[in-house]
Amino acid sequence: MALREILVVPDPVLKQVSTPVEVVDDDLRVLMDDMLETMYAAPGIGLAAIQVGVPKRVIVMDLAAPDTAPEPRYFVNPEILWASEDTAPYEEGCLSVPDIYDEVERPARVKLKYLNYQGEEVIEDAEGLYAVCIQHEMDHLKGVLFIDYLSRLKRDRAVAKVKKQVRAA
């Protein structure tokens, strides 16, 4: 496994639409393992392949509480089959928009379909943090960042703050 560089705004790669994965093979599993290691090191709870410069429909996630055993999850070609009409606000952050947090309103529950680490199809329901996180990460696959849901002023301020942090580093 290897750590990969996480791209930050305003990197244009983050706005690319990711392509579907043809087959879950050993090369893809290496990518997913690297992504998971990178996410843990950041630290974060979710990471889309595009955030490490790979425009494939792949997400890793771990929502386990701190100081508990890791519970890594892998999502290849995820799709939302259904989303609830009721929504819930959640304060989101993003490894590609470091140190910026703001409230985003999303469907409270979703039903999703994806391929797991072994390439097996999974269909399941998500709610709470799981629903928020999977929708956030799936947005990345469409070239959408959580700050795109904010007002133009808030979005511009967030990007300017990240640019300033990068220059100072």
Task: Let me know if 92 is exposed, middle or buried by CB neighbors in 10 A (0-12, 13-18, 19+).
Answer: buried
Look up residue 41 and give its two tokens.
Answer: 């090191």
The DSSP call for residue 120 is -
How many H-runs (helices) and E-runs (strands) does the chain carry?
3, 7
Whether residue 71 lies in the annotated active site: no
- Which entry of 79, 91, 124, 137 is annotated as an active-site residue? 137
Q: In angstroms, rounded to a whole number, what is the distance separating the alpha carbons of residues 28 and 95?
A: 21
List beta partners, residue 128.
none
Q: In angstroms, rounded to a whole number, what is the distance separating the alpha carbons of residues 159 and 15?
A: 14
Q: What is the 3-state secondary structure (H, E, C) of 78-133?
A: EEEEEECCCEEEEEEEECCEEEEEEEEEEECEEEEEEECCCCCEEEEEEEHHHHHH
Tell me the catalytic residues.
Answer: 137
